């Protein structure tokens, strides 16, 4: 498969995912988008292995590796901070009515809010990754120009 | 890390694209190495040197950091 065909395929899969997402919203069932998402990513991974044009060498691998590592370093701190905050809310710390808590656990962080927060963190992670990628690509000479 | 890839390319009448294709990297990687933006792995450095049929030290020179030596 040629590099451009791979990019077109990736774009098509993204469109399909978007369509299935809205279909899942319509039918109030998350299963279709979850299955199609995993399948779509698997197809992209397999298709990428069949690309014959050179799209990655050790420098681009290093850029990817560094960007992923930095994203992870930032993300786990934010995720831990959020999780600690969520646990504290659930436990009503510091106003901790222990006797009432066991009978009526508070529902501050419902599943809907949790979903939004997860989506927000995921978007943040993607933006962070793109930003780090741009930074390291620039650092390792991706946009250098030459007289040739 | 300094290198003389550009010089060797000129000697062998090779473009960056030619060299990149020959050693299996992208042209941007050759350009980044030439400009000192990226230090290649030992494997890639050997490939480049082998391609020009010279020793690796002839293509790449390690910049020794200045070290002061106390003389009694």
Q: How far, in Å, CA of B29 to CA of A59, rounded?
A: 6
Note whether residue B15 is domain-resident: yes
Two structure tokens written together for A100: 């009432």
Note whether residue B34 is domain-resident: yes
Note whether residue B7 is domain-resident: yes
| pLDDT per position as a tens digit, A107-123 | 566 667 777 888 888 89
Residues with Cβ within 8 Å of residue A23, at least 6 apart in sequence? A32, A33
Q: Where are the domains of chain A?
A: 1-54, 56-148
Domain span at residue B8?
2-61
Question: pTM value?
Answer: 0.74
Give A28's DSSP letter. T
| pLDDT per position as a tens digit, A38-96 | 999 999 999 988 888 766 789 999 999 999 999 999 999 988 888 887 777 777 655 65
Say yes or no to pLDDT of A106 above 70. no
Q: What is the pLDDT of residue A148?
A: 56
Mean pLDDT of all residues belonging to chain B:
88
CATH number at residue B19: 1.10.260.40
Contact with chain A for residue B40, Cβ under 8 A? yes
| pLDDT per position as a tens digit, B8-42 | 999 999 999 999 999 999 899 999 999 989 999 99
Distance between A132 CA and the closest CA of chain B, angstroms: 17
Q: What is the pLDDT of residue A3?
A: 83
- Cβ within 8 Å, pair A58-B40: yes
- Cβ within 8 Å, pair A142-B32: yes
Phi, psi of B61 (to 5 degrees): -120, 125
Note whether residue B72 is domain-resident: no
Note whether residue B68 is domain-resident: no
Note whether residue B8 is domain-resident: yes
Q: What is the pLDDT of residue A122?
A: 87
Number of structural domains in chain B: 1
Note whether residue B36 is domain-resident: yes
């Amino acid at each position: 498969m040629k590099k451009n065909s791979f990019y077109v395929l990736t774009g098509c899969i993204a469109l399909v995912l978007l369509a299935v997402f809205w279909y899942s919203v319509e039918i109030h069932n998350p299963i279709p988008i979850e299955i199609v998402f995993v399948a779509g990513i698997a197809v992209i991974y397999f298709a990428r292995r069949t690309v014959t044009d050179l799209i990655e060498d050790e420098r681009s691998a290093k850029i990817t590796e560094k960007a992923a590592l930095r994203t992870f370093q930032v993300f786990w701190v934010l995720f831990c901070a959020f999780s600690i905050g969520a646990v504290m809310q659930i436990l009503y710390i510091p106003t901790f009515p222990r006797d009432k808590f066991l009978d009526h656990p508070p529902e501050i962080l419902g599943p809907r809010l949790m979903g939004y927060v997860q989506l927000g963190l995921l978007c943040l992670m993607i933006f962070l990754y793109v930003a780090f990628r741009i930074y390291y690509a620039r650092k390792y000479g991706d946009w250098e120009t030459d007289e040739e | 890390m300094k290198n003389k890839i550009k010089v060797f390319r000129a000697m062998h009448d090779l473009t960056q694209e030619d060299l990149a294709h020959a050693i299996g990297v992208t042209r941007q990687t050759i350009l980044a190495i030439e400009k000192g933006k990226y230090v290649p792995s030992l494997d890639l450095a050997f490939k480049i040197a082998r391609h020009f049929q010279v020793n690796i030290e002839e293509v790449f020179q390690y910049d020794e950091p200045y070290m002061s030596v106390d003389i009694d």
